[in-house]
Amino acid sequence: MKSIADQLPPEIASQIHPDRRRNEAAYWAVRDQLLEQYRGQWIGFADERVIASGSSPVTVFHAAEASGRHPFFICVGREEEPCRIRRVTSQYDTSYPGEALPWISVEFRQARSAPGVVLDRVIPHTGADASVLPWADCQLLQLAPSSGVQGLISGVAGGSAATLAFQIWTWLDGQEYPCRLQADFAGSERILGRDVLNRLEILFRGPAGEVVVNP
């Protein structure tokens, strides 16, 4: 399989940490041997072995990144399936003010327990496997390509595009949550996906035009 890193914009691909590329190549060298034990599981692969595994992508991602080994992150046996980000496009309907797209403000943190950047107009979207920010927002968070993990994302129309995933945290309603952030090099939407939403209770009060976190 062609290296995912090489599918990124050239100026971004050139900044990928060399250990990411090495671990990606090493994974493919032993991938068939991993199928029996790890098929369908998410893993972090570094130094020619599995260093984290499980069914929750965000949990495995954070565990693998905590090693500091610049691991390759993938779902074994489903390597070509992108992280699906179902795009939302909506406009206010002036004839009925309840038909609006819900937005919330979220603080995204590069480091745990450290102040981050508060972004508004973030779409809480249960159709998205993971959270997404445009690359410009990632730069505001000072996320360097060399710390990202190469991967794929896809929209509802199909197809896929290369992305970088970052281990960050979100702060909502006085609590901090792990986040598996995908960088979007083409789009402009801010999306809070199930990597974070599945750890919250969210109440959508459409007629009132409110989104309530942890009601």
Q: Is 152 part of a structural domain of the chain?
A: yes
Determine the structural domain holding residue 154 and report its residue range.
Answer: 104-206
Mean pLDDT by 10 residues, the chain (215 residues): 84 93 95 95 96 94 95 94 61 39 88 92 89 97 95 80 95 92 92 94 78 80
Q: List alpha helices for 66-193, DSSP H.
A: 135-140
**Distance separating alpha carbons of residues 9 and 27, to the nearest angstrom:** 23
* Distance in angstroms (rounded) separating the CA atoms of residues 133 and 123: 10
Question: Considering 79, 95, 121, which residue would you say is the last residue of a domain?
Answer: 79
Number of domains in the chain: 2
* pLDDT at res. 212: 82
Say what the pLDDT of residue 146 is: 94
Report the pLDDT value the prediction gives residue 104, as an integer from 0 to 100: 85
Same domain? For 115 and 192 the reply is yes
* 173 domain-assigned: yes
Torsions phi, psi for 63 (to 5 deg)? -65, -45
108 in a domain, yes or no?
A: yes
Q: Quick one: the chain helix, strand, coil %, rounded to 5?
A: 25, 35, 40
79, 94, 125 - which closes a domain = 79
Same domain, 69 and 153: no
Do 117 and 195 belong together in one domain?
yes
Cα–Cα dist 93/54, whole Å: 43
What pTM does this model have?
0.78
Domain match, 62 and 119 both: no
**Judgement on whether residues 71 and 134 belong to the same structural domain of the protein:** no
**Residue 159 in domain:** yes
In a domain, 180, yes or no: yes
Residue type for position 81 = E
- Pair 58, 119 in one domain: no
Same domain, 37 and 108: no
Domain-located, residue 215: no
pLDDT of residue 87: 47
Give the pLDDT of residue 100: 62
Q: Which two structure tokens, joined as six digits, stand for 187? A: 């789009």
